[in-house]
Amino acid sequence: MIKKENLKDLYPLSPMQEGMLYQSLLHPDAPVYHEQALYRLRGALRVDLLEQAWERLFQRHDILRVQFIAEKVSRPLQAVLHQRVGEFHYNDLREASPDFQEELIRQAQTEDRQRSFDLQREPLMRMRLLQLSDDRFALLWSLHHILMDGWCLGLLLRDFTLIYDALREGRPVDLPAPPPYSRYIQWLERQDQIRARDYWRAQLQDSHQAAQIPRQQTLAPASAGKRTLTHTLPAPLSERVRQAAADWGLTPGALLQAAWGALLARYNDCDDVAFGTLVSGRPAELPGAMEMVGVFINTLPLRLRIGPDDTLRELAKTTQMRLLEAESRQYLPLSDIQSLCPLGKDLITHLFAFENYPAPAHPDGAFRDAIQVESISKHEDIPYDFGVTATPEHGPEGATLVMRYLYNPAQFESAFVERLSGHYERLLRQGLGAAGNIRPIALQQIDLLDNAERDRLHAFRGEDAPLPSCDSYLDLFEQAVAAAPDSIAVEDGARRISYRELDERVNALAALLQKRYDVGVEDRIGVVLPRSAALLIAELAAGKAGAAFVPVDPDYPPERRLRTFQQAQCKLVIGDAAEAALWREHSQIPFLNLDAVDPHSRRAQAPERACGLRSLAYVIFTSGSTGEPKGVMLEHVGLINLIQWSRRQFNIQAGSRTTLLASPAFDASVWESLPSLCAGATIVITPDALRRDVGPLCEFLHEQRIDISFLPPALCEEACVNYPHLLQNIVLQSGGDTLKGIRNGGASDRIKVSNNYGPSEFSVCAASCYLAPQEPSPYPIGKPIANAEVLILDSQRRLAPLGAAGEIALSGPSLARGYWGRADLTAAHFVAHPLRPGERVYLTGDKGRWREDGNLDFLGRIDDQLSVRGHRVEPAEIEHLLSRHERVRAAAVAATRGADGHTLLAAFVTPRSADDSPLDLNDIRQWLARRAPAYMTPAILRERDSLPLNANGKLDRQAIRREAEQLRAEAPYEAPQTDTEKLVADIWSQVLDHRPIGRNDHFLELGGHSLSATRALSQLRGRLRRDLSLALLFDKPVLKDLAAAIDAPGAAAPSAPESGIRRADRSRYAVAAHRSEIQNPETQNPAAAESS
């Protein structure tokens, strides 16, 4: 409580101050907005006079004596006190060794940064002077950004040194009174808010996509502090920026921000971007504004649209016009501006600031003559994970532009940030061109990649592995038969079939196909059999007859089975007795009932086949976006590449025991069978009853001593987590969907989990990797397999920068021929290679990006996007994030409709283990909110024991969507019941201008944001006469939960002490008498060593 006699003035906050206050109240221990500078000084400095100058500086400037009030008021206020001085510490380190002095300086800096400022209790600027020798000092000066912006630092330093000079010379401090910051606040209150709102609404109402800096999976802890990468542009380029800006009639800041917008457009593969920019905020019409100390800057969105032929000059002109327009409407709080845009607070994901302060950064006056500033180092933070500043600086090589990239290492790899800085320089250099260039290059034509990055991207292709001299994958199978004819090829229940028997039965059936049905090269043979030895015989026989097999799952609906074979124009269909009746009644395609073929029919010699490497091997049908299945045509050469790579990658050899678990209609079935049969391994048919029952399935794998088994991701996750004791010395292959939470089981050295990626259009598998025991989720999908090339392309089919998202494109011998009977679809997806004329690539429609180590991240489908509050959202990305939570094993996300008809996200999560259930869904929601924009936080979050799977063992997204549609984000209206609920509802209705407010309403879903939360809590504190934390509203955003938390015992925060002048005593670091102790940092704790 402030004493009345100590109160000088009281006035509201500026928009920027309100935002800073909100962040500080929400995260009181975070170092956001904590600014720190370390000055290295040399000269005859008097410590006593420096402390007096410090005290006089607080007396001179009202803003330094401000205390902020956010409790029991309708809006936050700042109170100017008559008496208040920030801490001043002095530490004598002259007896310490130079190395130990530096250790103590670093420790003092760290301790100061870790010690947050309490905006409602203490002075917000402090100083520590460390004396290193008689004439060498380290001056640590720190403050909270809510006091002032960067412009003011020069003003403050000037006054501080002039006061010191006057004290040293024994004369009065004769400085003109500074204009108070309150005049600016009064000016703000007079501005036309409606006019500003109309402008920003027109600018932003159709903005639907936030411009993101691509985030990466890093190993840095989430608590790691931000890092800074400093990139100095070469002097000639810096001069070219200055010259071009002058020639074009622009400011350098507008040009640099235009270049940043162009780079964002390339990284996001779009033509409409928005990012945060800082405006100085000092109105020319306000007398004395340039001499005022306070926060004038404001964060505003800068939205840029880049045309296909725009040059940097054209975009820079547009940028300057937007900046000038924004400057005259800058007084609106950012939260109000964001509320006018569909993106809300996610409109700005990072900042770009051009800092060109006219005030000197070094001390002025006689102080400058007596004291030499040897160096200045600064530390600052921002409430975003990424920020860029461009600062003109003067050095030995002349004037240069210094770019500083501030980033969160838990979200961005340092190597990525370094490359991004290089891309920015390349874009500037090419966009500006040479002076006098009359034909500037269009921004879209600028090449961001240098030769080193291009070479690195090319090097990510799979290893070059010679293919064996053969014409067909059947040759490899026959080699395995010849090598060990009596080895067991297939175990199907109690039946064991040797390689000799298998081969002879295949030969007999192939000969029958050729003789009776005239089957030959490029013919299609339908196969509709359950997983069995018969299935393998039918598929191999089709190949030995020279034809391609078309597998269909017999459990598919009859109409789907018939339509598939008709669409493939099959010459024949092979099935069993159960299928025969259907074909006699409904199809004109010849049908061969394998049950009617003599099982003892054998043939030692294979019939002649005329197929070659480019002949059709099989056609696999996958679902199409139109609902009609499409047939993918795969050739022998692709299968040979898959077989040979798989044998090496998974050590499949004679004697290995593998499984056949996948549906015949899933190309993983081909992957399970052919590499094993071509290596002389034994395939164990997995019983149908066990395929989806993970416990018994794992027991089966254990009892059968299986070495290698394919498990769809959902089964693999559960097996690793719950049954690792049954999985010993086994390789689990997974693929076809996103693999998520396997960490518990994956930590076992006896289980090797291989994550694999590949569309049907690339012979099953295109990329693969073994997951490390403690690999964090989401997992990579691997590196390209042998002879495969993976490209990440932007929408112009150029190579995307390393780390940037783009479409996954595939090339190599495993590439499919195209789609059966769909030349239009083939032409659309199998296109000319962007780098090598005459070759093709397949555009997968999958979004991905490269990791630093050459592994790929899968980011979901390009065409699987949802529109939520104007955002294009990839459900897979949210699922990836949720699966990283330590208690979540898997997640599924779908869209539903809220009561107002708008799209909302619904997420279903499963616990990592039984001990984790029930999940704390509120904790998970808050955890996700810390890692993703608000629009990616599901409005509905539900726990499920398991997620529904389809026939192929993949996540059944249709079932997820149906369940989501049945849920309501908002419960039916229910009036507030308790007195506290009624009070909260009344305050919410005033702050949010929304009626009626029900007890089930969610503060954020009603339109609440940072400032409205601060105002709501202020009224709650005042009317309840209790101290409540701002975090409580975000922990309990549902009205009835918030009211219950308020009514719960112990809900009130500790009472605040009475405000007053907080003053630290002068102190010294105690220096031990023995030199050995001085030189050992472990014996010296600066905090403990401090004494009066």
CATH number at residue 995: 1.10.1200.10
For residue 448, the model assigns a pLDDT of: 94
For residue 954, the model assigns a pLDDT of: 79
Whether 639 contacts 780, CB under 8 Å: no
Q: Which CATH number belongs to the domain containing residue 410 in this structure?
A: 3.30.559.30
616: Cβ contacts below 8 Å, ≥ 6 apart: 521, 522, 524, 547, 548, 633, 634, 635, 817
d(CA 605, CA 503): 9
For residue 620, the model assigns a pLDDT of: 95
- Please check whether residue 503 lies inside any domain of the structure: no
Under the banding of pLDDT at 50, 70 and 90, the label for residue 1010 is low
pLDDT in tens, 376-402: 888 877 888 999 999 998 776 678 999
d(CA 675, CA 477): 9
Under the banding of pLDDT at 50, 70 and 90, the label for residue 318 is very high
Domain boundary among 421, 454, 487: 454
Number of other CB atoms surrounding residue 593 within 10 Å: 17
- Please check whether residue 963 lies inside any domain of the structure: yes
For residue 1089, the model assigns a pLDDT of: 32
495 bridge partner residues: 492
Q: Which CATH number belongs to the domain containing residue 956 in this structure?
A: 3.30.300.30
Give the C-alpha distances (Å, rounded to integers) separating 288 from 9, 560, 808. 19, 80, 58
d(CA 400, CA 421): 15
- Encoding tokens for residue 478? 């026959």
DSSP assignment of 295-317 equals: ---EEEEEEEE--TT-BHHHHHH
Give the C-alpha distances (Å, rounded to integers) separating 771 from 727, 742, 743, 911, 1014. 16, 10, 10, 21, 45
Q: Which CATH number belongs to the domain containing residue 48 in this structure?
A: 3.30.559.10
In a shared domain, residues 960 and 994: no
- Please check whether residue 157 lies inside any domain of the structure: yes
Higher pLDDT, 1012 or 237: 237
Whether 609 contacts 472, CB under 8 Å: yes
d(CA 361, CA 497): 85
Highest mean pLDDT among 56-60, 148-152, 1076-1080: 56-60
pLDDT in tens, 180-198: 999 999 999 998 889 999 9
The total domain count for the chain is 4
DSSP-derived pairing of the beta strands 866-868 and 871-873: antiparallel
Under the banding of pLDDT at 50, 70 and 90, the label for residue 878 is confident
Q: Is the pLDDT of residue 107 over 60?
A: yes
Domain boundary among 906, 938, 969: 969
In a shared domain, residues 232 and 109: no
Give the domain extent around 77.
Answer: 4-177
What does the pLDDT average to over 334-351?
87
In a shared domain, residues 321 and 224: yes
Q: What share of the chain is helix, strand, coil (3-state, %, to 5)?
A: 35, 20, 40
Check the CA dihedral 563-565-567-569 and report its sign.
negative
d(CA 242, CA 235): 11
Residue 580, phi then psi, degrees to nearest 5:
-60, -40
In a shared domain, residues 931 and 1000: no
In a shared domain, residues 8 and 122: yes
pLDDT in tens, 226-267: 899 999 999 999 999 999 999 999 999 999 999 999 999 988
For residue 902, the model assigns a pLDDT of: 52
Higher pLDDT, 1033 or 1081: 1033
d(CA 739, CA 781): 9
Highest mean pLDDT among 221-225, 362-366, 553-557, 1071-1075: 553-557
Degrees to nearest 5, angle at CA 886 with 881 and 888: 65
Under the banding of pLDDT at 50, 70 and 90, the label for residue 1002 is confident
Domain boundary among 177, 201, 223: 177
- Please check whether residue 1022 lies inside any domain of the structure: yes
In a shared domain, residues 288 and 418: yes
- Please check whether residue 341 lies inside any domain of the structure: yes
Q: Which amino acid belongs to residue 850?
A: W
Highest mean pLDDT among 501-515, 715-729, 898-912: 501-515
- Encoding tokens for residue 308? 């296909």
In a shared domain, residues 93 and 231: no
Under the banding of pLDDT at 50, 70 and 90, the label for residue 951 is low
Mean pLDDT of all residues belonging to the chain:
86
In a shared domain, residues 201 and 74: no
In a shared domain, residues 146 and 81: yes
Q: Is the pLDDT of residue 802 over 60?
A: yes
In a shared domain, residues 310 and 435: yes
- Please check whether residue 964 lies inside any domain of the structure: yes
- Encoding tokens for residue 455? 């070479």
- Encoding tokens for residue 233? 């542009």
Under the banding of pLDDT at 50, 70 and 90, the label for residue 490 is very high
For residue 1085, the model assigns a pLDDT of: 32
In a shared domain, residues 282 and 332: yes
**Closest to 889 measured CA to CA, from 799, 834, 828, 955:** 955
The percent of residues above 70 in pLDDT, for the chain, comes to 89
Q: Is the pLDDT of residue 344 over 50?
A: yes
Highest mean pLDDT among 40-49, 555-564, 1015-1024: 40-49
- Please check whether residue 575 lies inside any domain of the structure: no
pLDDT in tens, 734-746: 988 778 777 644 4
In a shared domain, residues 163 and 292: no
Under the banding of pLDDT at 50, 70 and 90, the label for residue 499 is very high
For residue 414, the model assigns a pLDDT of: 92
- Please check whether residue 1083 lies inside any domain of the structure: no
d(CA 273, CA 269): 10
DSSP-derived pairing of the beta strands 630-635 and 818-819: antiparallel
